[in-house]
Structure 1
């Protein structure tokens, strides 16, 4: 008898092993299935295991992509028997499917700050991501919508496209979206449920007999309460409605299953024990991971709070009824100050601004002023009818914009000056030429004036005696010529300053020769001063344009002469080489010197301390521009009543090889 029972058990086991159900699993459909530490887990997997036990079939789990599973379930020759998918509650699939397993829904997901989707009309004209083959796709196949459809392989692909700005909305099933939202913080739930559905086991119609067995086992599990236990385990909710149909049939099937389990009790007990140990280890690992994540979240929350408290900008959260919910207290007193107003002078009406932002669900940025400071006020809508208000001090940026505007005006003035200089230059040349002819004519007419004076002793010119009148006329001619030459010099400075680029022709130039030529051209100006010349030997050579460098040295010599008192001034001009890398021209005087504020502005265009005597304020500005064009530097030191030293540093030119 004992051997007979053993043979019966082995026979039953062999029959059980020969029959199987291949269950296709999509690995990204949490929390119904997932893999933890290499072990397949989830509601559907555990439910299929129990169905396999009740139907005397071995459950084989095969993991494939969603598209492969959808293709397999439509193929009668596929190696996949059953998959778990969602069907809309008001639409049926063409395939054989089980009783509903678990209710779910789909809704719209959008980026934070986008408008709420109240119904299908709000999707018109938008780019909407739809998972191909999912229950949303099945539902929409019978309901054409007026939006631009973008097919994706996974809901996660839709989320990625939305963060890249390629779609506006993702219609996603809630269970999957709940898993994805922590991975995409820029995305939020943007609507109520738009489609209701239910999870079902689905198989090809040629496997309808197998689906009948699965349905019988599923109903038996619901009657026995095991289904409710699984639902509570994986979802935390129970099933209250009990299907009472075919109770007698399921009870008989349960008796058969119990008999089979008794026959193979030892084997099944060992299998369950191993499975429970694995599951226990997995649960311990999961618990440890969750505790670790909880500790990390607490730490991250503290760090985030510390960052918010430490940033210089003010951050405050208000409710729709203007209750302050949280603030880092930075500059929050400005929001209630009567002197905190818009840049155009309008007073700040904070409550009206918050109401407007919440009504439009769009951010608003305002430029504000407080005393001599400037601020930027940002109001952004967040969840639960709340707004976050950011206050940023923009005084420095405002001052930089003003400085940039001033620089632009100076640049425009330089361009305008070039045009004016050109228009003035022609009449100035005519004046100089005409005065020269007038002076020569007066000299040639002098004998005729003398002869006529003898014939008519009482002759007057402009009411003056002829000699006095001629002297006054000669003085006036000299004054006119001097004024015209002064205008010509100013025009020349303006034209040099307004040049768009300096000469690009560069050659090796001797600084000693530049100094010698400059001294010859300024000989008339420096003759009343003591001038010391110290030129380097061998001569220092640089790359540049000789005439432009002479212009720099001449301008610096003239400035030194203007700063010194005639007969007492001492000017030292020197060239030298430093460390075989740089050449220097220095011009030092013992003149009046400059204070710190004047020294800081001396190279600004049109700035001069000699405007009353004809200074244009362009000389040092042009010099600085020329030196910088040759990768050089203009260095100045000065003290009031002690003198000034200006050094021109230029890169030393390498000796040319023969």
Structure 2
């Protein structure tokens, strides 16, 4: 009986240990350890609190500096029982550690504009700030270094030294750096993860038994799902839970009970039989749990495979021997000789994949195949493995080019409007001045004739006075007419460059639309014979003159591009019937085949891509005609020419009369 009491006393000894765990906290790093309105919170603080509940112990949070915590935890008489620190995944600290709590990593940080750090070799010759006794410092201990290590007390001190130019690079843990970067916007992340580590609970070796209890509680929290709840709360992610250890703990407890009963020699047979019964039930339960877990894992695997197979982009996984481990695509395009970079460089799949696996750095490249565009992404996913993702982005490339072309055209329109304004001012001065010269020549002509009679040998610019005066009168008329022609072209250009308002439709003279377009394209048309036939009176429609100018200019330019200089004839006419008004433009150029004719109004389709064509001209014309409730009929014969007929609804008589009056008033005001 005394022996039994002694054994029970030994079993209850852990329950008589101190009922408080002092948890040392050194930072304000959200979401790990931080304080809000004086309340200690964070993942580590809440996790140790849950462990305290399982162990029936109070948790006291005590904040000290990082260096003070490290010093105290090494002292046997310390007032700190346990702290949470990061350890490199391949290096263990001298202190007693728990199971890993949460994974993290460290990478390089530099000032904005500095070079990226691709690997350790890029740190050679640089001054690198490392926090004293942090997991980066532990990882680097005893390893050869090609850089100068500058020890700092805090990562924030390293950031401050980086800004002041005292160091070139800071190696910092991810969670701390993310908190500091908003305070130091000139500091940026300059590398992928260089060191991987994990948070663990650490205590002095004298508290090994207490840390074992903490570790058991930590495992129980992971099994119960409470750990996943905390991870989801503070980090937004969790892990799958498969309970395969509870049976082992029960077995261990039963084994202890059996050992105690065996030691005291009491009820041996009964204890053994009960133990066998419990064990059989536990094994049955374990088998059932394992089958359920296997079924869940199998279902999850099938779902994951279905998701991968349903991804619209090609995905392939290779190892370092270029063996295809998995794919949802046939991969023929990746090895096609026509599959090249946009700059024409050859693409060798094996070289790119092996480089990504070796450097552990992703690669993204835009590629071309015939008339298509593709994007290739290669990412390292595991030891000696990489995933290749192939995505077609032909439409995005076309839209990007169209946007660039539209930006250039918009800039050109703004520039044209500005130039037109600048030209209009001196043109007005010329017109005003030449009118004065013309009036003056009328008054000077009698004086010149009189002086000629008095001095028969008098010459003006080497000419007889009568011939010289006639030449000057003719020159003033030519100058005035030329200046007015410049003014008309400038006004047409200004109207063409005005901002477009889709709802600004009004009575529009089709003959005037044609004349404006001819003036704006006169430089291109001078190489061809233009036959013009305009209906009188001019057809009037309800529309936007600026947009119709754009349509006509585009059609005239297309006609010029379709025929050879010196031998081409372009015919333009306007006419109407009782229901509609028409503009016809035809040429005797190269014409189009039936395949081209079917696609002529498609966006981005062009037969002049090599000459800078964007394939948007006729598409925009078609859109403008739809906004005007009009139609465009196209007929073409290869090597004979093409004809474009634009059909519009006629305006009603009242609006036509109002337009006529408005034009008359405008003409009188101009006079």
Q: TM-score, structure 2 length as denominator?
A: 0.44
TM-score by length of 1: 0.45
Name which one, 1 or 2, has greater alpha-carbon Rg: 1
